[in-house]
Amino acid sequence: MTEDNGDADRFVEEHERQINDLLQEVDDPADAASDDDGFSMQLGGLELGRRDFVKAGAATGLASAAGAFAGCQTALPESATPSDSGGSGSQGSSAAHSHVVEPGEKDEYYGFWSGGHSGEIRVIGIPSMRELARIPVFNTEAARGYGYDDQSSQILEAGGGYTWGDNHHPNLSETDGDYDGEYLFVNDKANGRIARVNLKYFETDAIVDVPNTQAVHGCTVLSPDTKYVLGNGEFRTPLPNDGRDVNNPEKYTALFSAVDPESMETVWQVKVDGNLDIVDTGKEGRWAIASCYNSEEATEIQGMTHDDRDYAKVFDVPAIEKAVENGDYEEVNGVPVVDGTRDSDLNKGDEPLVRYVSTPKSPHCVEVGPDGKYAFIAGKLSPTVTMLDLDKIGEVDDPADAVAGRPKVGLGPLHTTFDGNGHAYTSLFIDSQVAKWDIEKAANAELGSSDPVVEKLDVHYNPGHIQALEAMTTDPDGEWLVSLNKLSKDRFLPVGPIHPDNDQLIHIGDGEKEMELVADHPAYPEPHDCIFAHKDKINPATTWDKADYEGEKPFVAEGDSGVERTGERSVHVKASSKRSEYGMFDFTVKEGDEVRLTMTNVEGVRDIIHGVAIPEHDVNLAIAPQDTREVTFTADDPGVYWIYCTYFCSALHLEMRSRMIVEPRD
Ligand code: CUK
Ligand code: CUA
């Protein structure tokens, strides 16, 4: 059992050097054409040539059919066959597999993309890569009136009142290990939150501000039945973070949190040593596996990357529940916090709450394979992926004995996905490649062997997450894989210094043939991850069902429009809307009145949305058929204000207007 972990400084330095090399080549294509200059170096045990760094098609004008795979040839074991199928990166035009969905035809899969610090979720059809919708979650969004009407403002307010979030990991709710189409859950790394999107309406319906935690990074649902939404606290802080221990970083702590998917309340937390990065669960509802890149518990980068080993933490969910039941916790800000640090009494005995598995080196992602047998932990600063045997982890005395394999896949491995046919695909951030490898071969190979690697494909550039169709279920569909590349550099028309990311669509088929790069897709900053569900598993409503909000808000039928004075300085205005008129051509309030406006769209047909814009009052509603929205604002200044509809709903859309008359008060 030998392996090569290298040391952090070397990897960071090499990484920077490669990026600089690459940038220089992009700046000076002439230089790059001479790739046979004998340049080569050893890195992480791999012999690398210049072409490993000058990735094919990198604005160099290199003959791309040859270039696309040139980068992997030196790095591949002899048994691997570089593809000759092109993968020219010419945005799909020469690809053997078409991803085009003809006009009028629909995609086969829904893709849900995290939006990073845009705070939103994006819905993209696969394989076309056409963007279908954006679902605002932690951000406000004018097109859908999110954060403008009272209801969505209250969701944002209850979630802490922040104006943005940083969502990384979208997850679909599961029943029996398969997507049930009910909810999507997503983390907010920036403000330590988890949000729920209702997939009947494709709308955010709850945000929980997880107590005691400053960053919720990794986020997943507990398979197979979504018993909890689990969130990883990445940043260590004092507990509680109320001014105590601010100068004693050794007393900071990171928490693993469980949120109830229905009530969206935090039901328990586990305090751990080190930090917590990414998390996934086994398929049987017992294990949650999280990566930890800062076992050093340092506060600056040198310290965080100092050790050659960090760990994966394996949480035993039923054991944690038992500890909570037994009252073995400390309550902090209303949440039971159990002690899962290594010295905790709860970690002694044969049912420890948390097993710490030594893992090289600043590991990043954890993904559990479709059969639930292995957790795959990408090494980030180690060129390896550690396979943890989940059948064994509960049996062995030393958790290290549950390590079932550790293939060397390439530089900067971050995330792994699956085709359901025995292959794993790992993104290589530093190499700018996707490595496809054989899972069983890796389980039988020496630790640190690169023999299990079947093939590598260049991507453009620096991939983070990769995701194949339904790869997180027990029955992945293969066929397509998306590589979410952080940098696009020269792949698109320049649009100023903030460049788009590049999500690349790659054909993988059933894993038996070579991977083929089929399309580039620019992405507005900055998605991290995505998840795919077959269209039959998602069943959105096309109009609202008013029974769903009965008792929460009124439905204003056409005859019910009117103004009611509710107090000395408050009025309630109720109005219907339809093509092409509001329920009232005008209404009158008094200067200084607080106006509560309730508006229903009484249309029964899909696609006819009405908007409500009131100039100079920051009022903006978007109301889908059969829905009601409310907004409360103050009519500060006397005058006439033309209300108009923002959605182009009919030929008489421009005439769809009403007047708010604000009379002077005296
Ligand atoms: S993290 Cu972004 S590339 Cu937040 Cu899933 Cu790995
Ligand atoms: Cu209603 Cu435009």
Atom of ligand 2 at shortest distance to CA of 653?
A: 2
Ligand showing the shortest atom-to-Cα distance for residue 427: 1
Q: Is 15 in the pocket of ligand 2 (CB under 6 A)?
A: no
**What is the spatial distance between Cα 162 and Cα 193, in angstroms, rounded to a whole number?**
11
Question: Which residue's alpha carbon is nearest to atom 1 within ligand 2?
Answer: 610
Q: Is 217 in the pocket of ligand 1 (CB under 6 A)?
A: yes
Concatenated DSSP letters for 491-517? Answer: SS---SSS--EEEEEEEEETSSS--EE
CA 597–ligand 2 middle distance (angstroms): 17
Same domain, 380 and 485: yes
Ligand 1: which of 188, 414, 429 to mutate, judged by most atoms within 8 Å of the beta carbon? 414
Same domain, 435 and 507: yes
Ligand 1: which of 113, 188, 278, 366 to mutate, judged by most atoms within 8 Å of the beta carbon? 278
Phi and psi torsions of 303, nearest 5°: -70, -40
Q: List all residues 6 or more positions away from 547 whose beta carbon is below 8 Å from its beta carbon.
A: none
Same domain, 591 and 606: yes
CA 657–ligand 2 middle distance (angstroms): 9
- Nearest in space to 484 (alpha carbons), one of 242, 68, 122, 184: 122
Residue labelled with tokens 């586990």: 270
Q: Confirm whether 588 is domain-assigned.
A: yes
Ligand showing the shortest atom-to-Cα distance for residue 658: 2
Residue labelled with tokens 């008792």: 551
Q: Confirm whether 506 is domain-assigned.
A: yes
CA 365–ligand 1 middle distance (angstroms): 8
pLDDT score at 36: 40
Ligand showing the shortest atom-to-Cα distance for residue 579: 2
Q: Confirm whether 497 is domain-assigned.
A: yes
Ligand showing the shortest atom-to-Cα distance for residue 603: 2
Last residue of a domain, one of 541, 562, 580: 541
Tell me the average confidence (pLDDT) per consecutive run of 10 residues in the chain, 666 residues long: 50 65 50 41 43 36 33 37 37 73 98 98 98 98 98 97 98 97 98 98 98 98 98 97 97 98 98 97 97 94 93 97 98 98 95 95 95 97 97 95 97 97 98 98 97 98 98 96 97 96 98 96 96 98 97 95 98 97 97 98 97 98 98 98 97 96 94
Same domain, 558 and 447: no
Q: Confirm whether 58 is domain-assigned.
A: yes
Q: List all residues 6 or more positions away from 625 whose beta carbon is below 8 Å from its beta carbon.
A: 543, 544, 601, 603, 604, 605, 606, 607, 608, 609
Q: Confirm whether 198 is domain-assigned.
A: no
Cα torsion 11, 17, 20, 26 to 10°: value is -90
Same domain, 597 and 638: yes
Q: Is 278 in the pocket of ligand 1 (CB under 6 A)?
A: yes
pLDDT score at 666: 82
Same domain, 563 and 650: yes
In 352-500, which residue ranges form alpha helices assigned H by DSSP?
A: 439-444
Q: Is 196 in the pocket of ligand 1 (CB under 6 A)?
A: no
Q: Confirm whether 401 is domain-assigned.
A: yes
Same domain, 563 and 483: no
Q: Hey, what are 220's tokens?
A: 């997943």
DSSP structure class, residue 19: H
Q: Confirm whether 357 is domain-assigned.
A: no
Distances, alpha carbon 498 to alpha carbons 89, 147, 460, in Å? 22, 26, 16
Ligand 1: which of 118, 166, 168 to mutate, judged by most atoms within 8 Å of the beta carbon? 168
CA 611–ligand 2 middle distance (angstroms): 6
Q: Hey, what are 600's tokens?
A: 């229903």
Q: Is 442 in the pocket of ligand 1 (CB under 6 A)?
A: no
Q: Is 599 in the pocket of ligand 2 (CB under 6 A)?
A: no
pLDDT score at 24: 58
Same domain, 635 and 517: no
Q: List all residues 6 or more positions away from 324 whose beta carbon is below 8 Å from its beta carbon.
A: 267, 268, 336, 338
Question: Which residue's alpha carbon is nearest to atom 4 within ligand 1?
Answer: 168
Q: Strand, coil or helix: what is 498?
A: coil
Q: Is 155 in the pocket of ligand 2 (CB under 6 A)?
A: no
Q: Hey, what are 576's tokens?
A: 């219907």
Q: Hey, what are 492's tokens?
A: 């698109």
CA 656–ligand 2 middle distance (angstroms): 6
Q: What angle do CA 20, 24, 29 make, to 5 degrees?
A: 150
Atom of ligand 1 at shortest distance to CA of 189?
A: 4
Q: List all residues 6 or more positions away from 632 whose beta carbon is below 8 Å from its beta carbon.
A: 150, 594, 595, 596, 597
- Overall size of the chain counted in residues: 666
Cβ(259)–Cβ(232) below 8 Å:
no
Q: Is 364 in the pocket of ligand 1 (CB under 6 A)?
A: yes
My answer on whether omega of the bond before 461 falls inside 30° of 0, hence cis, is yes
Distances, alpha carbon 230 to alpha carbons 263, 275, 440, in Å? 14, 15, 29
Last residue of a domain, one of 511, 541, 571: 541
Same domain, 508 and 652: no
CA 644–ligand 2 middle distance (angstroms): 8
Same domain, 527 and 563: no
Cα torsion 75, 81, 85, 87 to 10°: value is -20
pTM score above 0.85:
yes
CATH number of the domain where residue 457 is located: 2.130.10.10
pLDDT score at 17: 73
Q: Is 414 in the pocket of ligand 1 (CB under 6 A)?
A: yes
pLDDT score at 58: 34
Q: Is 610 in the pocket of ligand 2 (CB under 6 A)?
A: yes
121, amino acid identity: I
CA 105–ligand 2 middle distance (angstroms): 28
**What is the spatial distance between Cα 543 and Cα 627, in angstroms, rounded to a whole number?**
8
Q: Strand, coil or helix: what is 214?
A: coil
Atom of ligand 1 at shortest distance to CA of 415?
A: 6
Ligand showing the shortest atom-to-Cα distance for residue 215: 1
CA 148–ligand 1 middle distance (angstroms): 30
Atom of ligand 2 at shortest distance to CA of 654?
A: 2
Q: Confirm whether 310 is domain-assigned.
A: no
Instruction: Characterise 226 by phi-psi region: left (phi > 0), alpha (psi -120 to 50), beta (else).
Output: left
Ligand 1: which of 415, 487, 531 to mutate, judged by most atoms within 8 Å of the beta carbon? 415
195, amino acid identity: A
Residue labelled with tokens 């997450």: 465
- Nearest in space to 222 (alpha carbons), one of 393, 79, 368: 368
Same domain, 533 and 434: yes
Q: Hey, what are 145's tokens?
A: 């009136």
Instruction: Characterise 374 by phi-psi region: left (phi > 0), alpha (psi -120 to 50), beta (else).
Output: beta
Cβ(206)–Cβ(194) below 8 Å:
no
CATH number of the domain where residue 592 is located: 2.60.40.420
Upper half-sphere CA count for residue 75 (Cβ side, 13 Å): 32
Q: Is 649 in the pocket of ligand 2 (CB under 6 A)?
A: yes
Number of domains in the chain: 2
Q: Is 312 in the pocket of ligand 2 (CB under 6 A)?
A: no
Last residue of a domain, one of 541, 564, 590: 541
Q: Is 380 in the pocket of ligand 1 (CB under 6 A)?
A: no
CA 217–ligand 1 middle distance (angstroms): 8
Ligand showing the shortest atom-to-Cα distance for residue 412: 1
Atom of ligand 2 at shortest distance to CA of 650?
A: 2
**What is the spatial distance between Cα 57 and Cα 508, in angstroms, rounded to a whole number?**
21
347-363: b (≥16 Cβ within 10 Å) or e: beeeebbbbbbbbbbbb
Paired sense of beta strands 330-332 and 229-233, if any: unpaired
Domain extent for 579 = 8-30+554-663
Sign of CA dihedral 9, 235, 229, 168: negative
**What is the spatial distance between Cα 482 and Cα 111, in angstroms, rounded to a whole number?**
10
Same domain, 398 and 501: yes
Cβ(120)–Cβ(542) below 8 Å:
no
Instruction: Characterise 243 by phi-psi region: left (phi > 0), alpha (psi -120 to 50), beta (else).
Output: left
Q: Hey, what are 23's tokens?
A: 């940038």
**What is the spatial distance between Cα 307 and Cα 414, in angstroms, rounded to a whole number?**
18
